[in-house]
Amino acid sequence: MAGVMRAILVKEFGDASVLKLVQNASIPNIKSYEILIRVHAAGVNPVDTYIRSGTYTRSPALPYVPGGDAAGVVERVGDAVSKYKVGDRVFTAKTITGTYAEYCVAHTDFVFPLPINISFEEGSALGAPYFTAYRALVIKGHAKPNETVLIHGASGGVGIAAVQLAKALGLRVIGTASTEQGLQAVHNQGADLVFNHKQEGYFEDIAKTSNNGEGVDLIIEMLANVNLNNDLQILKAKVGRVIVVGNRGTIDINPRLLMTKETSIHGVTLYSSSEDEFQMVNAFLQNGLKHGYIKPLLGKLYPLEEASQAHIDIMQNTGTCGRLTLTI
């Protein structure tokens, strides 16, 4: 497909200033099982900043367009695509080309229907946050109804998704945030208890209110380099597990805390998911979107040309509430 598009292009790894808006990026071509999507909104994820800085475990070839989450309209389909047609509203959870652009390409297996009651901005918040949250809670965390889960950092994109999913699955939910706005947002999503994780002594308060003081069954951890050792101290013996979703550095832990209670730590990355797991999560999400118990919470919206500011905000704004989104 001939033509050019507006896009954010990264020509060198570095800080947020390397995100440059270009007006003449080539619209990507598609193969047989691929879909070209006219992007209306793109989600901003912390991992986007790690990749941009060159510190992530995998680095794209330069230059590249960042982003992996988007919602928009099918512009063109490959010869072997049968599930979608031009004009369909869709969202992505994994793409072949970057989503910080007017057009992106995704394999048909990672494109999903966007219900009419969900906006493009909300749709762009479904990919990494909800698929990661489900993977953490269910696939790796083995969450069960009536268990108590602590969502440690519950006001961001993945955190809000985890609160909604955990409540839908029948868990008792404890959420933390660091601002009044964040605490209220977590409460509004259905958390049974909320705590300010900037307040001294909140770990002890959580432990006292969980399973008659025995501790929490499951922790979804968004900042392991700060919280992991304390997490281990409030896990319920024999069954307690920590699922690490986010981390920004190193931390010393006392392994004896794992030994004495026979608890466990597991790491999660969305891109380890199989195709079947993506389809399983989508089936759950589609039902939730239809019946209204899944509804992404949007934070700040940015025009495409302010992508660099969005990257600064997602890493420096400790009071992040909801999903940061680029509108295109």
Q: Are residues 254 and 304 in the same domain?
A: no
With respect to residue 82, please indicate whether it lies within any of the assigned structural domains: yes
Full-model pTM: 0.95
Contact of 325 with 44, CB cutoff 8 Å: yes
Q: Which domain holds residue 103?
A: 4-126+296-327
With respect to residue 15, please indicate whether it lies within any of the assigned structural domains: yes
With respect to residue 282, please indicate whether it lies within any of the assigned structural domains: no
pLDDT tens per residue across span 86-109:
999 999 999 999 999 999 999 999
- Which percentage of the chain shows pLDDT scores above 90? 93
- Bridge partners (DSSP) listed for residue 243: 220, 266
Q: Are residues 228 and 189 in the same domain?
A: yes
Number of separate domains in the chain = 2
Q: Are residues 253 and 309 in the same domain?
A: no
Q: Distance between CA 277 and CA 139 in Å, rounded?
A: 8
Among the three residues 267, 282, 314, which one is the final residue of a domain in this structure?
267
- Asked, as a colleague might, if the bond just before 63 is cis with ω within 30 of 0, I would say yes
Contact of 320 with 314, CB cutoff 8 Å: yes
With respect to residue 181, please indicate whether it lies within any of the assigned structural domains: yes
Q: Distance between CA 51 and CA 32 in Å, rounded?
A: 28
pLDDT tens per residue across span 117-134:
999 999 999 999 999 999
Give the distance, in angstroms, between the CA of residue 256 and the centroid of all CA atoms in the same chain. 31
With respect to residue 285, please indicate whether it lies within any of the assigned structural domains: no
Q: Domain containing 306 — which CATH number?
A: 3.90.180.10
Q: How far is CA 300 from CA 67, 118, 178, 311, 312, in A?
A: 17, 17, 17, 12, 13
With respect to residue 68, please indicate whether it lies within any of the assigned structural domains: yes
